[in-house]
Amino acid sequence: MAEASGNGSNNGGDRNGSSAALTDDLVLPFQTVRSNISGRIVRLGTSLDRILSRHVYPDAVGEALGQSLALTSLLGTALKFDGRLIMQTKTDGPLDMLVVNYDTPGHLRGYASFNAERLQADLDARNPQDAGLSNPAQPLVLGSGHLAMTIDPGGDMDRYQGIVALQKETLSSAAMNYFRQSEQLPTFLRLAVARVYEPGSGGNACTWRAGGLLLQHIAHSGGTPQTESEGEPLPLSGEDDDDWRRTKLLAATVEDHELIDPNLTPERLLYRLFHEVGVRVQNPLPLIDKCRCSRERVTGFLHQFAAEGLDDLREPDGAITVTCEFCNESYRFEPGDVE
């Protein structure tokens, strides 16, 4: 564990025994010194750009999926065992589904399902002056439905799933409801996603970047079950703690551009936010874009179909092509390959 400094020197140090510390595609756990609050900061660069660029997503959808990938990274890296975290939304809105998988030790994949016509109509209705523009002035609001977080330890172990209702809100607000209802811990969350112009990045193009900051106050006595008084939820255990309030106020000063700035290291940003209370960082947890699909997996999937089911999938020349929804990789099987 190392204490974040204010001069950015960690960017080239050997805190983890390497010649250069990671600054992108990572989650950096930390703890404030004087207030003893735990947190994690995520920074996604190349991995996010690869995931989103494989599909022709409107910017509004790319932003929502980018937020989902950042959020799932923050939660998945907290797993204490080999397993999988699955985040999924299902709504009646134009963005009907978001699915993100985090597999230990840091493999990410995700995809979004949306109705393009309904999405554009929704964006035009919210801001008529921006009709026809792909970049909305406000975060995309999900429809009514649910947000599910599933932890799959694998093997013979049981899955755990937490579900909260979605009522036409943003992903960030839905996630905060999840933390309050399922984890029952005082939580601060900020997510940011944008296309950023980076000179020298493939023809001076704009690339997708995402960042996020998560704070949680784990009280010694644990969380308090949520109840309501005249329609208002009662405070959780630790929510009225002075140290928590102070640290939360400091975290709330973070700007979206700071979370995704490629020239601002996560350590430097943490020092900027929490130098008043002190902050110590742990080893960064790397993240990579990696899908689980393979020709062998697809073959096994096709073998589950009866002959007549396979006939329904065949193209005019008798071949079968299966495309992975996550990474958009296509697998073609010639006649006779799968019977």
Domains of the chain, first to last: 15-289 (3.55.30.10), 295-333 (no CATH)
pLDDT of residue 215: 96
Gyration radius of the chain's alpha carbons:
22
Q: Where are the alpha helices (DSSP H) in the chain?
A: 46-53, 59-76, 116-126, 171-178, 242-251, 256-260, 266-274, 295-302, 307-313
pTM: 0.86
Sequence letter at residue 257: H
Q: CA-CA distances (angstroms) from residue 229 to 132, 176, 238, 283?
A: 45, 20, 18, 42
Six-digit token pair at 256?
């979206």
User: What would the pLDDT profile of 45-67 be if each residue is shown by its tens digit?
Assistant: 999 999 999 999 999 999 999 99
In whole angstroms, give the CA distance from residue 257 to residue 249. 18
Q: Residues, the chain, total?
A: 339
User: So what's the pLDDT on residue 141?
Assistant: 79
pLDDT (0 to 100) of residue 19 = 32
SS (H, E, C) 288-319: EECCCCCHHHHHHHHCCCCHHHHHHHCCCCCC
Q: Tell me, what's the pLDDT at 136?
A: 45
According to the model, what pLDDT value does residue 12 have?
Answer: 36
- CA atoms within 13 Å, Cβ hemisphere of 254: 30
3-class DSSP state of 208: strand
Strand 107-114 to strand 288-289: parallel, antiparallel, or no bridges (unpaired)?
A: parallel
Q: What is the pLDDT of residue 244?
A: 94
Tracing tokens 């193209």 back to the chain, one arrives at 315
Q: For every one of its 339 residues, what pLDDT tens digit does the chain have, with 9 covering 90 and above?
A: 666 655 443 333 333 333 335 789 999 999 999 988 999 999 999 999 999 999 999 999 999 999 999 999 999 999 988 999 999 999 999 999 999 999 999 999 999 999 999 998 888 887 655 544 444 446 777 899 999 999 999 888 889 999 999 998 999 999 999 998 888 889 999 999 999 887 765 555 789 999 999 999 876 544 444 445 455 555 666 677 899 999 999 999 999 999 999 999 999 999 999 999 999 999 999 999 999 999 999 999 998 888 888 989 999 999 999 999 999 999 999 988 887
DSSP 91-149: ESSSEEEEEEEEETTTEEEEEEEE-HHHHHHHHHHH-GGGTT-SS-SSPPPP-EEEEEE
Residue located via tokens 């009225």: 240
Can you tell me the distance from the alpha carbon of 180 to that of 71, in angstroms, rounded to the nearest whole number?
A: 15
